[in-house]
């Protein structure tokens, strides 16, 4: 329920920001009509805090009307004028996982696409399992903006009532999902590493207490159930080319004043390591056992010979051996290369969680009891400083 108290001074500031034209000024007081979706935008804008939204007690609510697993579609800039944006791989990973969840729940899998221009995105989204694409096409969606994007998503959620919604745990997803969750007043499980269905609910698993235990989280008292999932954690399904998704065009009235953060200048700098490590086929990683920055540099040569990218443990990053953007693990990148070579890394659980999905792991450590050997397919108990130069020499030959 939404109410305007007699604190209202009739300033009309709330009228243009309402995305649903739900506010009329009657007798110099804001009055909400039935188009209101309780999105909460006017509450934030009111200078005298005259507007309040009261939500029903969650445990008393009937959630049978909430249906559908939704996936937020994240777009990345390409630099190409004809196709300036493409769908980020994490979206396809979420659709692949979402398909399994939706099938088990016997609900639709829906992609949520916010863009200034559609480039037939529905073809790819359908191929990865989406039944429907809720698409909002609007000039104000030309670039990601927390206020604008969260407002649109909240309104879509209020209109269509999905049971669950998944976001990539990317910079954008980590910004957007909490804003949507707080506006809807629902829970959010961040950085999930596994999802399943339990008693009709979304079972969200994620590392907790510094990665030492896995926590299973259920949200029985709120809808939608919101989760972010890290890139490279969920396996990609085979795309079914030609499988189409139904496009549902949604209207949104977006006022510029919603945009509280204005981008004055854009400078795109590319850290090739950061961009490439998550999609690299070969990663040569080093840890504290590499001892010095100079010795760590040998890994660059080795990775160059293998056509790979250098990764690092957090200890190696903290010691300044490599930039943070190359860190693999819980607080770094999650990777799944075909080959992961590890030198002088102990295998702390926070590191393992970021690389255990690699196809083949080869670990070199001088301690035979190092936990890295528990996940390695091939283990070499030995001195990295002897083995790395030998490998370089052999590869050069």
Considering the complex, what minimum distance in angstroms separates the CB of residue 10 from ligand SF4?
Answer: 5
Which C-beta is closer to ligand SF4: that of 46 or that of 164? Answer: 46
| Closer residue to ligand SF4 in complex, CB, 161/324 | 161
Answer whether the bond into residue 224 is a cis peptide, omega within 30°: yes
Return d(Cα 357, Cα 234) in angstroms, integer.
9
Q: How far is the CB of 323 from ligand FAD (least distance, A)?
A: 14
Strand partners, 25: 30
Q: Do 227 and 181 touch, CB atoms closer than 8 A?
A: no
Determine, following the binding rule CB under 6 A, whether residue 355 of this chain makes contact with ligand FAD.
no
164 binds, options ligand SF4, ligand FAD, none, Cβ within 5 to 8 A by partner type: none
Interaction between residue 314 and ligand FAD (CB under 6 A): yes
If we measure between CA atoms, which residue out of 363, 256, 242, 382 comes closest to residue 311? 363
Choices 82-90, 100-108, 168-176, 284-292; region in contact with ligand FAD by CB under 6 A: 284-292
By the rule CB under 6 A, 346 interacts with ligand FAD:
yes
Return the number of the residue (145 or 232) whose C-beta is nearest ligand FAD. 232
Minimum separation from the CB atom of position 334 to ligand FAD (A) = 9
**Binding partner of residue 245 among ligand FAD, ligand SF4, none, CB under 5 to 8 Å per kind?**
none
CA atoms of 246 and 123, how far apart (whole Å): 10
- Interface with ligand FAD includes 206 (CB under 6 A)? no
Q: Is residue 137 exposed (0-12), middle (13-18) or buried (19+ Cβ within 10 Å)?
A: middle
Quickly count: other Cβ atoms within 10 Å of residue 360's Cβ: 13
Q: Per rule CB under 6 A, is residue 14 in the interface with ligand SF4?
A: yes
Ramachandran region, residue 84 (left: φ > 0; alpha: ψ -120 to 50; beta: rest): alpha
CB atoms within 10 A of CB 364: 26
The two most distant CA atoms of the chain are separated, in Å, by 86
Helical axes 171-184 vs 146-160, angle rounded to 10°: 50
Contact between 311 and ligand FAD by CB under 6 A: the answer reads: no
Choose from ligand SF4, ligand FAD, none: what does 13 bind? Cβ within 5-8 Å by kind.
ligand SF4
Is residue 375 within 8 Å of 358, Cβ to Cβ? no
Per DSSP, the three-state class of 249 is: strand
Residue 186 partner contact from ligand SF4, ligand FAD, none using kind-dependent CB cut-offs of 5 to 8 Å: none
Site of interaction with ligand SF4 (CB under 6 A): 2, 4, 8-14, 18, 20, 22-23, 30, 32, 36-42, 45-46, 48, 50-51
Footprint of ligand FAD on this chain (CB under 6 A)?
210, 287-289, 313-316, 327-332, 344-346, 348, 350-351, 354, 364-367, 370, 383-385
């Amino acid at each position: 329920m939404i109410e305007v108290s007699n604190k209202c001074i009739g300033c009309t500031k709330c009228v243009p920001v309402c995305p649903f034209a739900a506010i009329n000024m009657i007798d110099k007081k804001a009055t909400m009509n039935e188009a209101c979706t309780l999105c909460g935008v006017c509450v934030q804008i009111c200078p005298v805090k005259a507007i309040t939204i009261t939500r029903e007690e969650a445990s008393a609510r009937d959630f049978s009307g909430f249906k559908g697993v939704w996936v937020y579609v994240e777009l990345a800039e390409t630099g190409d004028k004809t196709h300036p944006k493409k769908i980020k791989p994490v979206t396809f990973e979420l659709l692949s996982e979402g398909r399994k969840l939706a099938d088990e729940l016997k609900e639709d899998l829906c992609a949520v696409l916010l863009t200034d221009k559609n480039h037939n995105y529905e073809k790819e989204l359908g191929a990865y399992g989406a039944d429907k694409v809720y698409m909002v096409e609007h000039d104000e969606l030309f670039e990601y903006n927390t206020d604008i994007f969260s407002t649109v998503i909240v309104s879509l959620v209020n209109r269509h009532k999905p049971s669950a919604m998944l976001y990539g745990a990317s910079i954008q997803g980590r910004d957007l999902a909490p804003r949507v969750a707080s506006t809807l007043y629902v829970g959010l499980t961040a950085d999930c590493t596994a999802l399943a269905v339990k008693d009709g609910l979304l079972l969200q698993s994620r590392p907790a207490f510094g990665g030492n235990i896995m926590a299973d989280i259920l949200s029985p008292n709120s809808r939608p159930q919101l989760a972010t999932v890290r890139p490279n954690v969920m396996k990609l399904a085979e795309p079914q080319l030609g499988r189409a998704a139904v496009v549902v065009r949604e209207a949104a009235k977006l006022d510029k004043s919603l945009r509280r953060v204005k981008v004055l200048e854009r400078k795109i700098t590319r850290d090739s390591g950061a961009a490439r490590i998550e999609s690299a086929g070969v990663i040569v990683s080093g840890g504290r056992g590499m001892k010095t920055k100079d010795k760590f540099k040998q890994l660059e040569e080795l990775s160059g010979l293998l056509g790979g990218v250098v990764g690092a443990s957090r200890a190696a990053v903290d010691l300044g051996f490599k930039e943070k953007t190359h860190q693999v693990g819980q607080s770094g990148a999650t990777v799944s290369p075909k080959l992961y070579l590890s030198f002088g890394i102990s295998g702390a659980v926070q590191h393992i969680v970021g690389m255990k999905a690699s196809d083949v792991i080869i670990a070199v450590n001088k301690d035979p009891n190092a936990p890295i050997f528990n996940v390695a397919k091939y283990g070499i108990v030995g001195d990295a400083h002897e083995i790395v130069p030998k490998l370089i020499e052999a590869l050069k030959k």
